[in-house]
């Protein structure tokens, strides 16, 4: 098969799969429609996960999803950068057809919005009676534009609307639907409130709030995209003395901090590893929340990345593998249920 044709087929496979589910839901009994949890890492290379051969970073929760479900060995993202890859996923179209084809910035905040005519998987699922929520990084249209999350099928959004803002893990603000949420103690002057932790709280709350109805939960986490920054807690301490390190001097928080900009980091390898493990722990918390609400037996969980790893903010590629012609990424699908609707345990595709 022609390589480029093969890539185009694979990089929209998940979107086509979700579109098929959304169509089928119209004919299904409300009680049997599966919940869908789609977790998408940011700039994670497939070599960053234990289940794909990583030995330096602990990713036990994601590895468990693969061991209980299906692991894809030949799977490609929509493209090599954030916004068009997300556009491919949301629309099911490759980058020759999807509306957003690059990271086109809009001032003072946001990116090129999806057009009013563009239909997304979230819109179809919403029409089918699903509660829909997105928590993380959007990048497909600012608030009050045709591409805003509430215009593209999401009942609730919390996180970074603008990709530039997400280059800071201690940003000035986040967005909750159309409301700008100011983060006290940040202001680019100090590391006060850690955005991924705030977003994770809202993610888990969405599951609790919608446990009695079918839902589509989209989690485009900002982890582990640069900047390399985070609390020096247990996730960081487990790697603090694990690597030969060279400090990175960056655009630090303070009076001269800018957006976009990447802060300096004393131990870049340790910080990056901690960010991957933190993301893995957040995945584990989502699975546990589903379990607590007795939802695992009727929930499809998909984990993947928006594109491959990048060398930004001293995110040195000592762990990841990136292809030059296209972007090969990890993809894991798990549905913890027995019977004819289950996925083969530990199967590779």
* Predicted confidence (pLDDT) per residue in 267-283, tens digit: 999 999 999 999 999 99
Name the token pair of 270. Answer: 């340790």
Mean pLDDT of 250-263: 93
Q: Does position 185 have pLDDT exceeding 60, yes or no?
A: yes
Average confidence score pLDDT of the chain: 86
Residue of 302 and 31 predicted with greater confidence: 302
Angle between helices 268-292 and 195-209 (to 10 degrees): 10
The predicted pLDDT at position 118 comes to 97
Q: Does position 340 have pLDDT exceeding 80, yes or no?
A: no
Mean pLDDT of 185-201: 96
Residue of 306 and 148 predicted with greater confidence: 148
Q: What is the pTM of this model?
A: 0.88
> In which band, very low, low, confident or very high, does the pLDDT at 344 lie, cut at 50, 70 and 90?
low
Least confident of 9-18, 55-64, 123-132: 9-18
The predicted pLDDT at position 308 comes to 77
> In which band, very low, low, confident or very high, does the pLDDT at 331 lie, cut at 50, 70 and 90?
confident
C-alpha separations of 343 from 12, 63, 125, 201 in Å = 20, 16, 22, 29
To the nearest whole percent, how much of the chain has pLDDT over 70? 82
Strand partners, 179: 176
Q: Is 36 helix (H, G, I), strand (E, B) or coil?
A: strand
Mean pLDDT of 30-55: 89
Q: Using the 8-state DSSP alphabet, how is residue 76 labeled? A: B
Mean pLDDT of 285-295: 98
Mean pLDDT of 60-72: 93
- Measured over the CA atoms of residue 66, residue 69, residue 73 and residue 76, the dihedral's sign is negative
CB 185 within 8 Å of CB 206: no
């Amino acid at each position: 098969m022609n390589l480029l044709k093969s890539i185009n087929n694979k990089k929209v496979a998940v979107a086509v799969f979700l579109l098929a589910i959304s169509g089928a839901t119209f004919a299904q009994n409300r009680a049997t429609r599966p919940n869908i949890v789609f977790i998408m890492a940011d700039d994670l290379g497939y070599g960053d996960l234990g289940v794909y051969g990583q030995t330096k970073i602990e990713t036990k929760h994601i590895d468990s999803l693969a061991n209980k479900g299906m692991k894809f060995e030949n799977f490609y993202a929509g493209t090599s950068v954030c916004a068009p890859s997300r556009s491919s996923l949301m629309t099911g179209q490759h980058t020759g057809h999807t509306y957003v084809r690059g990271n086109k910035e809009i001032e003072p905040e946001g990116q090129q919005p999806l057009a009013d005519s563009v239909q997304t998987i979230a819109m179809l699922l919403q029409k089918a009676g699903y509660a829909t929520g997105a928590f993380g990084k959007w990048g497909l249209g600012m608030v009050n534009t045709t591409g805003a999350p509430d215009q593209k099928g999401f009942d609730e959004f919390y996180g970074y609307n603008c990709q530039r803002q997400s280059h800071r893990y201690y940003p000035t603000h986040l967005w909750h639907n159309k409301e700008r949420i100011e983060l006290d103690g940040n202001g680019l002057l100090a590391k006060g409130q850690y955005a991924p932790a705030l977003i994770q709280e809202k993610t888990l709350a969405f599951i609790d709030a919608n446990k009695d109805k079918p839902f589509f939960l989209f989690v485009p986490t900002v982890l582990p995209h640069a900047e390399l920054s985070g609390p020096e807690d247990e996730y960081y301490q487990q790697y603090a003395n694990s690597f030969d390190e060279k400090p990175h001097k960056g655009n630090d928080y303070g009076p001269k901090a800018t957006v976009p900009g990447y802060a300096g980091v004393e131990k870049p390898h340790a910080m990056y590893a901690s960010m991957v493990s933190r993301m893995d722990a957040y995945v584990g918390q989502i699975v546990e929340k589903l379990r607590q609400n007795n939802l695992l037996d009727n929930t499809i969980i998909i984990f993947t990345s928006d594109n491959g790893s990048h060398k930004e903010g001293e995110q040195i590629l000592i762990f990841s593998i990136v292809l030059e012609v296209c972007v090969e990424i990890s993809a894991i699908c798990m549905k913890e249920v027995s019977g004819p609707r289950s996925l083969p345990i530990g199967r590779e595709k």
